[in-house]
Amino acid sequence: MNLYTISEQYKRFDGAWLKKLAIISMLVDHTAAALLYKCYLKPRAPVFRGTPDYYLYRFYKILRGFGRLAFPIFCFFLVEGFIYTHSRLNYVIRLVLFGILSEPCFDLALKTGFPYPSHNNVMFEMAAGVLMLWVFEAADRLPVRPAELRLAIRFALTAPFIVAAAKLHLDYGFKGLLLILLLYVLRADRVSQCMAGAIFISLWEWPAVFAFAPLVLYNGRRGKQHKYFFYAFYPGHLFILWLITRLILKT
> Is 157 part of a structural domain of the chain?
yes
Per-residue pLDDT of the chain (251 residues; tens, 9 = 90+): 344 444 566 677 888 999 999 999 999 999 999 999 988 888 877 777 778 888 899 999 999 999 999 999 999 999 999 999 999 999 999 999 999 999 999 999 999 888 888 999 999 999 999 999 999 999 988 888 898 899 999 999 999 999 999 999 999 999 999 999 999 999 999 999 999 999 999 999 999 999 999 999 998 888 887 778 888 999 999 999 999 999 988 75
> Is 112 part of a structural domain of the chain?
yes
> Is 3 part of a structural domain of the chain?
no
Distance, CA of 34 to CA of 32 (rounded, Å): 6
Q: Which domain holds residue 101?
A: 11-249
CB atoms within 10 A of CB 199: 12
> Is 6 part of a structural domain of the chain?
no
Reduced to 3 states (helix: H, G, I; strand: E, B; else coil), residue 217 is coil
The pLDDT of residue 197 is: 97
> Is 4 part of a structural domain of the chain?
no
Distance, CA of 101 to CA of 236 (rounded, Å): 10
Q: H or E stretch including 196?
A: helix 190-202
> Is 238 part of a structural domain of the chain?
yes
| pTM assigned to the model | 0.92
Signed CA dihedral, 185, 187, 191, 193: sign only: positive
The pLDDT of residue 7 is: 53
Reduced to 3 states (helix: H, G, I; strand: E, B; else coil), residue 213 is helix
Distance, CA of 196 to CA of 204 (rounded, Å): 14
**How far is residue 248 from each of residues 44, 112, 241, 245, measured CA to CA in Å?**
15, 15, 11, 5
Distance, CA of 204 to CA of 116 (rounded, Å): 23
> Is 72 part of a structural domain of the chain?
yes
What's the domain count of the chain?
1
**How far is residue 180 from each of residues 4, 43, 145, 158, 217, measured CA to CA in Å?**
24, 36, 26, 11, 19
